Structure 1
Amino acid sequence: METDLLTQKVIGCAIEVHKELGPGLLESSYECCLMYELAKAGIVAKNQVVLPVNYKGVLIESGYRIDILLPKKLIVELKAVDKLSPIHTAQMITYLKLSEIKTGLLINFNVQKLSDGLKRISM
């Protein structure tokens, strides 16, 4: 599936979760519900995927976890914060570099309109 179409489908699933739950819950609640919607849409995804750091050819687990990974295609990082900040973008860029995946979605569910909490990042 082409990345643009895939990101549109993921965003559609996230909008469904946000319409149902609204803002104000914990990130983990949105993650579980989004995983449900992705599976319902036939999108293969994994959550809480360990992302090791490759240091001099040695893979070191250093605590990084991708919220939702669509293997070899897309990273989805979820937030439930007042607003997305530069550190969230930096986190996504780091995840994209470490995973060698080209596209990521930052989704902040703590907004009145989900489109105000979306950011697509491409490398």
Structure 2
Amino acid sequence: MVVELRYLGIHYSQQSIYPVIYKGEKVDEYIPDLEVEDVLFVDTKTIESIGENELGQMLTYLRITGKSTGIIINFKHPSLQWRKVTLKNH
């Protein structure tokens, strides 16, 4: 996927680190698979299907980072499965 993004001239970063802060303390960190054009997170999976857990995880990532849009891509099956996730009232 990153080869194609690079070929198309689309700016991306891989595995940037975002701290998770609670009451002023770093309690964890979020490391997204890909961030495209500094606005879209891409979370790649190889699972049976994209479910509520994956959607909830992406919403949490969006809240942590202050971004509004992410996409979950599942490469498990011959036909690509994907879900766009948008944080409302961002």
Task: Determine which structure has the larger strand proportion and give its number.
Answer: 2
User: What amino acid is the match of 1:55?
Assistant: Y
Q: Name the SS of the counterpart of 1:46 in structure 2.
A: strand
Give, in whole Å, the separation in 1 of the partners of 2:30 and 2:61. Answer: 8
Partner of 1:101: 67
Give, in whole Å, the separation in 1 of the partners of 2:18 and 2:53. Answer: 18
Partner of 2:77: 111
Given that 1:78 and 1:108 are in contact with CA atoms closer than 8 Å, whether structure 2 keeps it comes out as yes
Assess, with a 3 A threshold, how the Cα gap between structure 1 residues 51 and 71 changes in structure 2: closer, same or farther: farther
Give, in whole Å, the separation in 1 of the partners of 2:58 and 2:24. Answer: 22
| TM-score, length of structure 2 as denominator length | 0.86
Partner of 1:25: none
Give, in whole Å, the separation in 2 of the partners of 1:97 and 1:65. Answer: 14
Matched, 1:56 2:23: yes
Out of 36, 39, 58, the residue aligned to residue 73 of structure 1 is 39
Q: Deviations over 1:40-81 (max 9, x none)?
A: 1111111112121122234x2614210101253100000011
Report how many residues are paired. 87
Instruction: Extract structure 1 runs of 4+ deviating beyond 6 A.
Output: none
Matched, 1:47 2:14: yes
Q: Name the SS of the counterpart of 1:104 in structure 2.
A: strand
Runs of 5+ unmatched residues, structure 2? none
Matches within 5 A, 1:17-32: none
| TM-score, length of structure 1 as denominator length | 0.65
Partner of 2:84: 120
Q: Percent identity?
A: 30
Runs of 5+ unmatched residues, structure 1? 1-33
Given that 2:71 and 2:85 are in contact with CA atoms closer than 8 Å, whether structure 1 keeps it comes out as yes
Task: Determine which structure has the larger helix proportion and give its number.
Answer: 1
